[in-house]
Amino acid sequence: MIRKTACSVAALFALAGTSTVFATNGMNLEGYGSKSMAMGGTGSAFDTGNSAVMNNPATLGFMKEGASEIGLSIRGLHPDVNLSKGTLSDNSNATAFYMPSMSYMRREGDLSWGAALFAQGGMGTDYGNNSSLFARGYSMANALIDMSGEDIRSEVSVGRIMFPVAWHLSSDTVIGASFDVVIASMDLQMDLDGQHFANMMAGNGGSVSGSMRTSLESMMMPASGPMITGINYARFDFSNNSQWIGEAVGLGTGLKFGITHKVNKSLTVGASYHSQTRLADLETGKATLSFNGDGPAFTGGPVAITGTIKVRNFEWPATVAAGFAVNPSDKLLIAGDVKVIDWSAVMSKFSTTFIADASNPGFGGQELDVDMTQSWKDQTVWSLGMQYMATKKLALRAGASFSANPIPDSYLNPLFPAITKNHYTCGFGYRVNEKTSVAAAFSLVPKITATNADGVENAHSQRNWSLSYTLSL
């Protein structure tokens, strides 16, 4: 099933749309640009073309003096996500994601500069409606009950408009920086059964608070008889099914800094720092929070409350990277990188606030704060890559990257199964003529399985590709 197309921030330019990106290192892509991707995601210390703005902005200094380049590319990500528990199983229908990017870079003397539009990453799954695996749950009283039977899906996308500069401090040393405009969006359609809701109200696996919780508890314990004798499930629903952008949207900024240094004729080293983003809450006024359960309050079926939802404290993590590039000969390039991604600082929990519209009887203006424990761990990614110039025009590339799964099994949510670890990559670059070059990359992500606290086994693998076109002006 094909989900959203285009790149997460292009709608701001009216040149493209937004895209949910199913990422591969947590929520990060395995490499940015066809050259970096084909070489295992390396890119700290050698020329990755215009994609330098996503890798290390200082490497823009490798451009030829006086050169101007336009870059266009498209990526395809093809995740295969399967769930099973006992005799039940389900597959995510979100199996194809397509993301274009575009950039313009120029070097004048010691200064390189430009603008670029790239998808950063994200997550997404789609289990449809009437899924057998999501059909039943447990009530607050631990009784087996029917869930909503409606769509179960998630889409998270993050993209950037970037304005990089690179400056030659000397013939051997370049520093770079980038100011990024960041946009994030989210769709979520999720059932939370009464047992999990009650556990979170008790502080296990998260928390539930706010004036709406107080109202729900008061409806369970009036002296004249409770209106609610139990909650079977709560359903969170905010989704526009748009091909361009998710329903809840937040804007913000980020910064990147980098440096490269040529140690000698054969060896270059580089490093970069990507700051944690500063995003506003992802927000939409078109959300629905529904409850179903037992008692007079539910004689007419589920109670749907309309309102505004805010996804609070959603940020992209800081990343520190360092690497080397060695040219043993004119034909051979060998590169290695290590990246540390600070997931623990931004993915300790998933936090939302729902504010009911004033028109909802009994709940008008009330808030429900829900935090779901995530406890992601920091992730270290080791990458190796090689390029061999088979001819003056044809470059052959291969690489691999290795990392650990950042999500603890206990808190693995089937809607966000970002558990993949290793990547094996290959590709090529071909200079068509003096002004035009093309490149392609392919990535194989072996299947990883993990079983969460509910006994649901998640299996996830990917097969991805990238195509790039560069025009020298």
CA dihedral sign of residues 201, 203, 204, 208: positive
Task: State the pLDDT at residue 25.
Answer: 81
Convert the pLDDT of each residue in 412-426 to its tens digit.
999 989 899 999 999
Amino acid letter, 384: L
- Give 373: exposed, middle or buried? Use CB within 10 Å, 0-12, 13-18, 19+: middle
What separation in angstroms does the CA of 374 have from each of 29, 46, 350? 20, 36, 7
**Residue pair 462/24 in contact by the 8 Å Cβ criterion:** yes
For 90-95, which contacts have Cβ atoms below 8 Å and span 24 or more sequence positions? Answer: 90/127, 90/131, 90/132, 90/133, 90/134, 91/127, 92/125, 92/126, 92/127, 93/1, 93/126, 93/127, 93/128, 94/1, 94/3, 94/20, 94/22, 94/124, 94/125, 94/126, 94/153, 94/155, 95/1, 95/2
Task: State the pLDDT at residue 10.
Answer: 34
Task: State the pLDDT at residue 305.
Answer: 97
Give the other-Cβ count within 10 Å of 139's Cβ: 21
What is the residue extent of each domain of the chain? 2-472
Nearest one of 317, 252, 258 to 55, comparing CA atoms: 258
Convert the pLDDT of each residue in 355-404 to its tens digit.
999 999 989 999 999 999 999 999 999 999 999 999 999 999 999 999 99
Task: State the pLDDT at residue 225.
Answer: 83
Q: List the structure tokens of 368.
A: 């429900």
- Give 406: exposed, middle or buried? Use CB within 10 Å, 0-12, 13-18, 19+: buried
To which residue do tokens 């869930």 refer? Answer: 147
Q: List the structure tokens of 294.
A: 């037992």
| 198, containing H or E segment | helix 194-201
What separation in angstroms does the CA of 454 have from each of 22, 84, 193, 463? 24, 11, 12, 28
Q: List the structure tokens of 413.
A: 């949510």
Helix (H, G, I), strand (E, B) or coil at 383: strand
**Residue pair 244/281 in contact by the 8 Å Cβ criterion:** no
What separation in angstroms does the CA of 87 have from each of 91, 159, 169, 285? 14, 39, 64, 39
* Angle at 404 (CA atoms; ends 267, 442), nearest 5 degrees: 65
Helix (H, G, I), strand (E, B) or coil at 417: coil
Task: State the pLDDT at residue 23.
Answer: 63
**Residue pair 155/124 in contact by the 8 Å Cβ criterion:** yes
Nearest one of 23, 18, 24, 235 to 148, comparing CA atoms: 235
Q: List the structure tokens of 181.
A: 């405009």
DSSP 425: E
| 48 half-sphere exposure, CB direction, 13 A CA radius | 32
DSSP 334: E
Cα R_g (the chain), whole angstroms: 24
* Angle at 29 (CA atoms; ends 27, 30), nearest 5 degrees: 125
Give the other-Cβ count within 10 Å of 196's Cβ: 20
Residues of the chain short of pLDDT 50, as ranges, are 1-21
Task: State the pLDDT at residue 16.
Answer: 36
Task: Outline where 39-140 has alpha helix (H).
Answer: 52-55
Convert the pLDDT of each residue in 29-79 to its tens digit.
899 999 999 999 999 999 999 999 999 999 999 999 999 999 999 999 999
Amino acid letter, 147: M
For domain 2-472, the CATH superfamily is Outer membrane protein transport protein (OMPP1/FadL/TodX) (2.40.160.60)
Nearest one of 379, 394, 307, 384 to 345, comparing CA atoms: 379
Give the other-Cβ count within 10 Å of 208's Cβ: 21
DSSP structure string for 336-380? EEEEEE-GGGT-SEEEEEEEE-TTSTTTTT-EEEEEEE--PPPEE
Whole-number Å distance between alpha carbons of 344 and 362? 38
